[in-house]
Amino acid sequence: MNGSILIIGSLLWDNGKRGDWRTSRLSTEKKVFVRAPIRYGRRSSSWGRTFTMTLSPNGSAGRAILIPCKAPIADVAALIAEAEALWKAEWCKASPGQIGSSWGCVGVSFRAGAELAGWLQPWADHFDAKTSAAITPVDRNGLLQIPWPTTTLDGAPAAADLILATATKAEKQCPSVEDVAEAWLKQNNGYERYFFENVRHGIRTPDDGLIWSRIKEQNPDWLANRSYGEAVALLEREALEGP
């Protein structure tokens, strides 16, 4: 089977070990933009308790990145190996074989009509053994419960036999646009970089324009950071063009 990884947030642009993972396991030159239900929904300790992206099964479609795996996924063992590598990239402290914790997990979605004899139960068994719990939108069998991604170019179904993605545990109460913006506005430690890097790399939520409006209105000192210039210019252009 041909596998791809659905990527949101810093898995795409953070370097170090994540860069090594992308280089060794993914065909990044073949990445495509796809529609996927994403939002800023999780307060992350790694990002100063500001909000990071989550998959939102009932939310509006944003824009994510789909990148093919370099190696074909010939059997369940190969699927598990890709899942383990993905989780290790997501969490550098992961134990060998682990594909989830109390705050997140790896899930898989199979193309409609894929021949799955001998795949589903071994994957479910491994998922049960190597995660703390299923995290929405991944079910207890380790299956990703979101619509199959479609390309932003022409709306065609993504060309993959299976898709792996990490789901992270969202806040119980969905944060408002104001909550998300205020979390960045009330800090001065560089955590706003998460928002601007996502915008710069084309990972977008339906709320980005409203988040940007709030940030611009408050005009924090860090907004003068020259490294944000490309993202700011894009957000400003979108604001002028309107919906």
Query: 35 and 79: one domain?
Result: yes
Confidence of residue 243 (pLDDT cuts 50, 70, 90): low
What per-residue confidence (pLDDT) applies to 114? Answer: 86
Question: What is the span of the domain harbouring residue 61?
Answer: 3-168
User: What's the total number of domains in the chain?
Assistant: 2
Mean pLDDT estimate for the chain: 95
* Domain C-terminal end among 125, 145, 168: 168
> Which one, of 196, 150, 186, 145, lies nearest residue 167 by Cα?
145
Asked whether residue 71 falls in the same domain as residue 142, the answer is yes
pLDDT digits (tens, 9 = 90+) for 144-197: 999 999 999 999 999 999 999 999 999 999 999 999 999 999 999 999 999 999
From 168, 191, 209, the end of a domain falls on 168
Same domain, 205 and 119: no
Q: Are residues 228 and 154 in the same domain?
A: no
User: pTM of the full predicted structure?
Assistant: 0.95
Residues 133 and 187 in one domain: no
Listed residues 134, 168, 202: the one ending a domain: 168
Q: Residue 13 pLDDT > 70, yes or no?
A: yes
Angle at 75 (CA atoms; ends 73, 79), nearest 5 degrees: 55
Are the beta carbons of 228 and 212 closer than 8 angstroms? no
41 and 153 assigned to the same domain: yes
Which residue, among 173, 124, 135, 111, has the nearest Cα to 55 in the 3D structure? 135
Do residues 153 and 231 both lie within one domain? Answer: no
Is the same domain home to 156 and 181? no
